[in-house]
Amino acid sequence: MIRSLIREMLLQESASPTSKAASAGLAVCVVGSPDSAGHLMIYDPNIIYRLVKEYRGAGLPVDYNMVQDSIDENPVVRSGVGWTTEPEPCNGAKVVTKAASVAGSGMGPAAYEAAIWYTGGLASDRLETSQLAGYVWSKYYDRDDIVKSPFDDIDDPKTPPEEDDCHLQDRDYLNYSYSLKTEPPGLRTLEKNHEDCMKFCSSIGIENLPFYLLQLFRMLFEQRMSEDET
């Protein structure tokens, strides 16, 4: 029975998006506030380490441009999520403002997972949600380790408390705030990898790595939006 339980726990951890990111040596960076507005990036510090070695070997300057130029072939930022507060109560959840991941990276779920944990609860954009983003929320709706808190229609409320009042969308699974019951596996490793990368970058004169990662995420988001439009 104990062996069976251990196997089940290991299986659950191996299936966790954040655990997969940690196993790949990735890192997590948060810019802004989990309580108001911010962004979270899942990035690969190993790309930075490799680029520094390559640039130094070629006699090129090691600076922010090295990180930014990675967008053309192998972006340092693998995925990210942005959020903000909603003027409506919406169970106190933050709403996603933008999300993007490198095509084929499989790191989109890791960014969502970490963002849900840090913010204490997330919901989809209340005005419009794409089919692809809706698919993400439909997966959270079906998970047992997620706390799903339904919204009450702010235009036609059915319950007296205003805490759950929120603008509703056309798909039921979008009309909830989602929070995690337990900390995602591997999150501490992702945080440690970020701390180590910050120290490394500081030692070579790149002092504001989080800002550069945020800029790269914004570039990635615009790039993926352009791809969708075409």
Block means of pLDDT (10 residues each) for the chain, 230 residues, are: 44 71 97 96 97 93 86 93 95 95 93 97 91 89 94 94 94 96 96 98 92 95 74
CA distance to 79, 170, 211, 218, per residue, from 37 (Å) = 18, 25, 15, 15
Could you count the other beta carbons within 10 Å of the beta carbon of residue 211?
Answer: 11
Q: Which residues pair with 98 in a beta bridge?
A: 82
CA distance to 52, 82, 93, 152, 159, per residue, from 85 (Å) = 38, 11, 7, 17, 22
User: Distance (Å, rounded) from C-alpha 166 to C-alpha 85?
Assistant: 12
3-state secondary structure of 195: helix
User: What local confidence, expressed as pLDDT, does residue 69 receive?
Assistant: 87
H helix or E strand, kind and range, residue 98: strand 94-101
Strand 152-153 and strand 165-166: the pairing is parallel
Sign of CA dihedral 114, 21, 53, 224: negative
- The answer to pTM > 0.95 is no
User: What local confidence, expressed as pLDDT, does residue 15 receive?
Assistant: 67
Both tokens assigned to 221: 């988001």
Query: Phi, psi (5° rounding) for residue 134?
Result: -60, -35
CA distance to 65, 96, 225, per residue, from 219 (Å) = 13, 17, 10
Angle at 95 between CA 93 and CA 96, to 5 degrees: 140
Residue whose token pair is 């040596």:
25
End-to-end CA distance of the chain: 54
3-state secondary structure of 177: strand
User: What local confidence, expressed as pLDDT, does residue 7 receive?
Assistant: 46
CA distance to 106, 113, 118, 146, 210, per residue, from 180 (Å) = 20, 8, 10, 5, 25
User: Distance (Å, rounded) from C-alpha 84 to C-alpha 63?
Assistant: 30
User: What local confidence, expressed as pLDDT, does residue 14 receive?
Assistant: 47
